[in-house]
């Protein structure tokens, strides 16, 4: 069983996240979309709301037979990966600045859990500038985010704004 985790805040889930999930699915038998509960951030959605939205959206993603699971965690990503029985951590890279950050995290995760590899996937061109933070900022200022986040997520963002 080739199991990976794809960790992130997913606040909100973007089409870039879905692209990484879809493109990494041929590499693994199972991917756990691992929603990070980070108390230091001011999330738009609770962990439970994020998990529920992701569970609702994932069946629409063509995964080439890979099983997708949604879970949440706090603490170290390497610890969660080990507890989950994962052999890999999937991360998306949008730009050089992402690479520098992700390289440091991958090296620390390797030090913490040497048996778990980090797999980097380059963002698709159409999503190379999309981040959850940017989507929240644009949305809160009245900009259009259609096509950059799933329709369900945009609808839930509108509900939150009211």
List active site positions.
Answer: 17, 41, 94, 132
Q: How many helices (H) and strands (E) does the chain have?
A: 6, 5
DSSP letter for 123, please: P
Bridge partners, residue 34, by sequence: 7, 71
Query: Residue 91 pairs with which residues in a beta bridge?
Result: 120
DSSP string, 84-115: HT-SEEEEEE-SHHHHHHHHHHHHHHHHH-TT
């Amino acid at each position: 069983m080739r199991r990976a985790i794809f960790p992130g805040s997913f606040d909100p889930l973007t089409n870039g996240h879905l692209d990484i999930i879809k493109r990494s699915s041929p590499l693994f038998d199972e991917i756990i979309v691992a929603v990070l509960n980070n108390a230091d951030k001011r999330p738009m959605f609770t962990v439970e709301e994020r998990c529920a939205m992701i569970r609702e959206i994932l069946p629409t993603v063509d995964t080439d037979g890979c099983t997708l699971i949604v879970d949440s965690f706090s603490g170290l990503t390497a610890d969660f990966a080990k507890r989950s029985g994962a052999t890999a951590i999937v991360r998306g890279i949008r730009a050089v600045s992402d690479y520098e950050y992700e390289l440091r995290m991958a090296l620390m995760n390797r030090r913490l859990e040497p048996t778990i590899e980090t797999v980097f996937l380059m963002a698709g061109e159409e999503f190379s500038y999309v981040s959850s933070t940017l989507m929240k900022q644009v949305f809160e200022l009245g900009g259009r985010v259609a096509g950059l986040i799933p329709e369900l997520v945009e609808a839930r963002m509108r509900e939150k704004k009211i």
